[in-house]
Amino acid sequence: MAFIRKKQQEQQLQLYSKERFSLLLLNLEEYYFEQHTAHHIQHKGSQKERRVRGSLKICSKSVIFEPDAISQPIIKIPLRDCIKIGKHGENGANRHFTKAKSGGISLIFSQVYFIKEHNIVAPYKIERGRMEYVFELDVPGKVEDVVETLLQLHRASCLDKLGDQTAMITAILQSRLARTSFDKNRSCTWNAKQEMVTPLVTNPGHVCITDTTLYFQPLNGYPKPVVQITLQDVCRIYKRRHGLMPLGLEVFCTEDDLCSDIYLKFYDPQDRDELYFYIATYLEHHLAERTAESYTLQWQRGHLSNYQYLLHLNNLADRSCNDLSQYPVFPWIISDYCSSELDLSNPGTFRDLGKPVGALNKERLERLLARYQEMPEPKFMYGSHYSSPGYVLFYLVRIAPEYMLCLQNGRFDNADRMFNSIAETWKNCLDGATDFKELIPEFYGDDVSFLVNSLKLDLGKRQGGQMVDDVELPPWARSPEDFLQKSKEALESNYVSEHLHEWIDLVFGYKQKGSEAVGAHNVFHPLTYEGGVDLNSIEDPDQKVAMLTQILEFGQTPRQLFVTPHPQRITEKFKSLPQTSCDNVSTADSPGEESFEDLTEESKKLAWNNIAKLQLHEQHKLHKKAVTGIAVSCNGSSVFTTSQDYTLKMFSTESKMLQRSISFSDMALSSCLLLPGDATVISSSWDNNVYFYSIAFGRSQGTLMGHDDAISKICWQDNRLYSASWDSTVKVWSSVPEEMTGTKRHQSDLLAELEHDVSVDTISLNAASTLLVSGTKEGMVTIWDLTTATILHQIPCHSGTVCDTAFSPDSRHVLSTGEDSCVNVIDVQTGMLISSMTSDKPQRCFIWDGNTVLSGSQSGELLVWDLLGGKLCERIQGHKGAVTCIWMNDQCSSIITGGEDRKIMFWKLQY
């Protein structure tokens, strides 16, 4: 898992330095400045004198001596506990010795910590009482500088106010950074001062970027002199919050991993943004910050697992394994930890994902709500968070004991409060007065090490007498491996897939803040939310430090990703949907004994999997102006086209001849369609009318004077006609009589009128004729419920005219294209824009199967888009001038396009 892999990386860096020392030996928010080779002189001047060789490390709040011999403990002396610091022998009898040798530093103090004796990770041993230690540097000339530094840091540590301490130490740090610079051997394009962030630790230094490489040079040279990342290896970069401030930048050289290559924290947001810009402009295929919505479509249609989707959302919401105050958060899924068998078909097995942990127990919630009602503003329901550094390390103490010791000042927690049992932990989250924690990704991963005391740590003895060892598993888990496997199965189960969006609404979505959060009993302390406090506006340094400490240690709510209800996953079909990646086209399996309907579906899947192999079969110039509509008879023998040249034309695919040309008026025709039975073709016109033409009799059957302005598009389904117009309406008409006389408008035929604010340029129906989507001149996409003639959603998703719209075959999504060159996917259930891609030219028309899009471009090309991969896959040269209309047969094997070049083109799939 992410944290475990991060820890392994840090261990590899430590192997480089061959040290037991790590930055985790420092206090939180403490800095490591420099080190000197030295000897610890024990019993100086006596017959028992002993010299222990090692490394003396000067830190902002302590002095640490690491002996070379691992049998000896690391010594940590807090500067605040020092009584006197100076050169050894500068007073008294040893003065002559000091002048002669001048290499000793004397520390007189009242408290010392002994750490990692025999390299065993254990609680720190503390010795109290007045003591003096002498450290002799290998380079005597450095003694005075080191003593001066220690005295300065000692003064900072002894200041009464924490804010004053922090300010003085920060000034010392900045002074040191200003006196150093990046390695002059590298020609930096840009450089700045900042800190590298790892869990519980920030390491100050300099960052530099060249034409090819990103470098970080730690001020202290730890754990290596320079960390470097080749820019061509960078896959993703993310701007991060750190301490709720926009100061972080995380760089990934892998696509599907929360474990980044470097996390940098800047002192100035402008420096962060400049480095982001430099890296982003370097990347030829910039994959920096993908939106949450871009992953939602993949998840909905089953191309991302629940686990993968949650990882992506955490990443996008500033959750990082480098920042324990914003560690990735995952939900409790299972509520049954008592049964001998885990029944994933029983809804009672699962936790209610529509409620936060604090609201799962009704009696506890009632007590919390009573307190909430009596609380002065700002009110909050829960006094602790669902994710904090303490909770993360509660789960990970067995694999990351040094982190827990760092967080808790050298101690493990009380044995009875440790992570002893899955069932006990769940029960405490349900019943405890202050325990509302969720889980971490490790519970749904493959590495069991966080459940097993493989390091044989002494974690204490419980009240019952038993030692804290491996985590006790529920009865239904035969082993740690089995527990994780069943947890993963639960996370990917149908029940969770149907309800996971409810939990996403609470943690990442619209129920995270405001009145919706109050209604969902999902209100935490104001300091946990982005924007809850402006640290830069706090002038009192003590208050500012206290606020920052609380933010970092109490836990932080993820950045809000969604402000509308999150769409539900498509659970009944998602496992059988084709993987329509344009980079890896695969053929369908043999259908065997499947029905004819199954064979048809398989042929459609096969066709869409090969849509990029489309080839031009033939082309014909039929019109004098742009083609606007295409309709084809059931047997494919006749093609009907409309044009801005005022004509409806009938073309024979057998004789390759134009058979008929009909004019209804002296204005452009905008679209056409064939009624069932292929006896009548209908055309819409810019003269406000709809024309009915009898193919068998070769004459006009009638005219429907339906609108007060040009009709832009018509649709027919289930014996009803739908017409869209520039008069700002879409009208629904009942079945039109076979004999329509004259040009009289038949008012009785009008069933519904869907009002818009501006002209409507396109409409489309779903397969069941229950929904209609319209697109307007001003970029509004509206989804209508035709059973009630009411608006379900209005989405302003284009900055110009909407060119075309269509439902996916399963009616779950709407695709729209516009003059702004955007290709957008909208969730029908919630109205949320869940995917958006941009082309170089507007896409005037398209067809799609829900996953892959074939669009006709303003450039004349046919473009193939992989919606799930969020990319353009193929460009196919077609018309000279815009592609204006496109038609596909039911088998998805034959395509006809019309264009501004007055041609219709016939395309075939070449498997």
pLDDT at 875 over 50: yes
Q: What is the pLDDT of residue 5?
A: 59
pLDDT at 576 over 60: no
pLDDT at 1 over 80: no
Q: How confident is the model at residue 97 (pLDDT cuts 50, 70, 90)?
A: very low
What type of residue sits at position 454?
S
pLDDT at 253 over 60: yes
Q: How confident is the model at residue 89 (pLDDT cuts 50, 70, 90)?
A: confident
Site of tokens 């995270």? 512
Mapped onto helix, strand or coil, the DSSP state of residue 824 is strand
Q: How confident is the model at residue 185 (pLDDT cuts 50, 70, 90)?
A: low
Instruction: Name the residue with higher pLDDT: 317 or 3.
Output: 317
For 673-724, what is each residue's pLDDT tens digit? 999 999 999 999 999 999 999 998 999 988 999 899 999 999 999 889 999 9
Structure tokens at 68: 């070379």
Average pLDDT, the chain: 89
Q: What is the pLDDT of residue 550?
A: 85
Residue 660 contacts by C-beta under 8 Å, 6 or more apart in sequence? Answer: 648, 649, 650, 698
Query: What does the alpha-carbon distance between residue 441 and residue 329 come to, in Å, rounded to a whole number?
Result: 7
Structure tokens at 884: 């204006």
Q: How many CA atoms lie within 13 A of 508 on its CB side?
A: 29
Give mean pLDDT, residues 281-306: 79
Query: What does the alpha-carbon distance between residue 139 and residue 142 come to, in Å, rounded to a whole number?
Result: 6
Mapped onto helix, strand or coil, the DSSP state of residue 137 is strand
Structure tokens at 46: 């006596």
The secondary structure of 249-281 as a DSSP string is EEEESSSS-S--SEEEEESSHHHHHHHHHHHHH
Q: What is the pLDDT of residue 570?
A: 86
Angle between helices 292-300 and 306-316 (to 10 degrees): 170
pLDDT at 98 over 90: no
Q: What is the pLDDT of residue 580?
A: 34
Structure tokens at 217: 């040079």
Site of tokens 């004796």? 117
Structure tokens at 689: 């009318």
Site of tokens 């709510």? 557
pLDDT at 284 over 80: no
| Lowest model confidence (mean pLDDT) among 220-224, 329-333, 398-402, 804-808 | 220-224
Residue 871 contacts by C-beta under 8 Å, 6 or more apart in sequence? Answer: 582, 837, 865
Closest CA to 333 of 306, 305, 298: 306
pTM: 0.86
Query: What does the alpha-carbon distance between residue 612 and residue 376 come to, in Å, rounded to a whole number?
Result: 63
Residue 643: strand pairing partners: 627
pLDDT at 585 over 50: no
Query: What does the alpha-carbon distance between residue 763 and residue 720 come to, in Å, rounded to a whole number?
Result: 14
Closest CA to 435 of 360, 379, 357: 357
Give mean pLDDT, residues 608-634: 94
Closest CA to 437 of 401, 476, 474, 383: 383
Q: What is the pLDDT of residue 503?
A: 98
Structure tokens at 525: 């302390």
Cis, bond preceding 225 (omega within 30 deg of 0): no
The secondary structure of 275-303 as a DSSP string is HHHHHHHH-SS------HHHHHHHHHTTS
Query: What does the alpha-carbon distance between residue 737 and residue 701 come to, in Å, rounded to a whole number?
Result: 9
Query: What does the alpha-carbon distance between residue 248 and residue 342 come to, in Å, rounded to a whole number?
Result: 42
For 345-377, what is each residue's pLDDT tens digit? 999 999 999 999 999 999 999 999 999 999 999
Q: How many residues does the chain have?
A: 911
pLDDT at 288 over 50: no
3-state secondary structure 175-243: HHHHHCCCCCCCCCCEEEEEEEEECCEEEEEEEEECCCEEEEEECCCCCCCCEEEEHHHCCEEEEEEEC
Closest CA to 887 of 623, 560, 633, 605: 633
| Cα 772 to chain centroid, rounded | 32
For 12-55, what is each residue's pLDDT tens digit? 444 444 578 999 999 988 999 999 999 999 877 677 788 999 99
Q: How far is CA 422 from CA 50, 335, 417, in A?
A: 50, 11, 13
Q: What is the dihedral of CA 203, 204, 209, 214, to 10 degrees?
A: -10
pLDDT at 449 over 90: yes
Residue 771: strand pairing partners: 785
Query: What does the alpha-carbon distance between residue 10 and residue 173 come to, in Å, rounded to a whole number?
Result: 24
Give mean pLDDT, residues 819-843: 94
